[in-house]
Amino acid sequence: MHKRFGETAAAIAAVQDMRAEETEQRLARLLPLTGEERALDVGTGAGAIAIGLASLVREVVGVDIVPEVLAEARKRATENTEFLEGDAENLPFPTDSFDVVCTARTLHHIARPEVVLFEMTRVLRPGGVMLVVDQIASNDPLAAIELNQFERARDPSTTRILADVDLRTLFDSNGLVLRRSEMVVEERDLERYLDLAACHGLDRDRARALAPARPTATYGWYVLSRPTV
């Protein structure tokens, strides 16, 4: 996984830059923020969510395990953002140390997303807000299998694209309360999408053959809270 993201860090950051204003506006609309929060972005990549939050909160820390994408994030950092190398499954922070904890487009790259959500819940203070964003698979098992076959062919770092019902089960198992959710459909150019995963040669041919007929992807934006009791 590290090698793939290292190769494509600059391309990922360029896509992020194009979406920056849209990302900030969606964060401002979805999250109940006062401007005084300390926020954490887990699996920050090139810093899309962290940088989008920067003008909305007091302080943001972004954590990722890939040095190359962190370098791209640091190029875009503001005065109140900090980017650290760290493992999402073992976050290097004390319990109850953040008011807001986010992760975006990360869980489908992790073999044990339940561990990451446990860690995110641990470092979130009671009463704090969590944001989880990821691509969503169909509740139809066959359609979900077909989507995952394509995504793994495109990018072997993909473990599993979860369905909405799977994510909600993970939230429940961590005692999180779902406050609101939004499904966002993104148009997708197949060739650019393959480029973003450094998918070439025979792997690219196989991924093309498995690609969904509709050039769209659905992303869930889930706003949750950690109960105070």
35 pLDDT more than 80: yes
8 pLDDT more than 70: no
pLDDT in tens, 112-140: 999 999 999 999 999 999 999 999 999 99
Q: Which residue has the higher pLDDT, 2 or 107?
A: 107
pLDDT band at 2 (very low <50, low <70, confident <90, very high): low
User: Please, what is the average pLDDT of the chain?
Assistant: 92
Q: Between β-strands 38-42 and 98-104, what pairing exists: parallel, antiparallel or unpaired?
A: parallel
pLDDT band at 13 (very low <50, low <70, confident <90, very high): low
Q: Which stretches within the chain are classed as H helix?
A: 2-30, 48-53, 67-75, 113-123, 141-154, 164-173, 190-196, 201-210
Query: What pTM does this model have?
Result: 0.92
Q: Which residue has the higher pLDDT, 212 or 13?
A: 212
Lowest average pLDDT, out of 202-206, 210-214, 223-227, goes to 210-214
Question: What does the pLDDT average to over 215-225?
Answer: 96
Per the structure block, which two tokens stand in for 20? 């920056």
Q: Between β-strands 124-135 and 98-104, what pairing exists: parallel, antiparallel or unpaired?
A: parallel
Question: What does the pLDDT average to over 91-103?
Answer: 97
- Say what the pLDDT of residue 214 is: 86
Beta-bridged to residue 178, according to DSSP, are 224
- Say what the pLDDT of residue 3 is: 53
Q: Dihedral, CA atoms, 137, 143, 149, 154, nearest 10 degrees?
A: -60
Query: Topology of domain 2-225, per CATH?
Result: Rossmann fold (3.40.50)
pLDDT band at 29 (very low <50, low <70, confident <90, very high): very high
DSSP per-residue string spanning 102-168: EEES-GGG-S-HHHHHHHHHHHEEEEEEEEEEEE-B-SSHHHHHHHHHHHHHH-TT---PPBHHHHH
Asked if residues 38 and 100 have their Cβ atoms less than 8 Å apart, the reply is yes
User: Angle, to 10 degrees, between the axis of helix 201-210 and the axis of helix 141-154?
Assistant: 160
The CA distances from residue 204 to 75, 110, 153, in Å, are 31, 22, 8
Question: What does the pLDDT average to over 80-86?
Answer: 96
- Say what the pLDDT of residue 161 is: 97
Per the structure block, which two tokens stand in for 120? 């995110």
- Say what the pLDDT of residue 19 is: 76
The residues spanned by each domain of the chain are 2-225
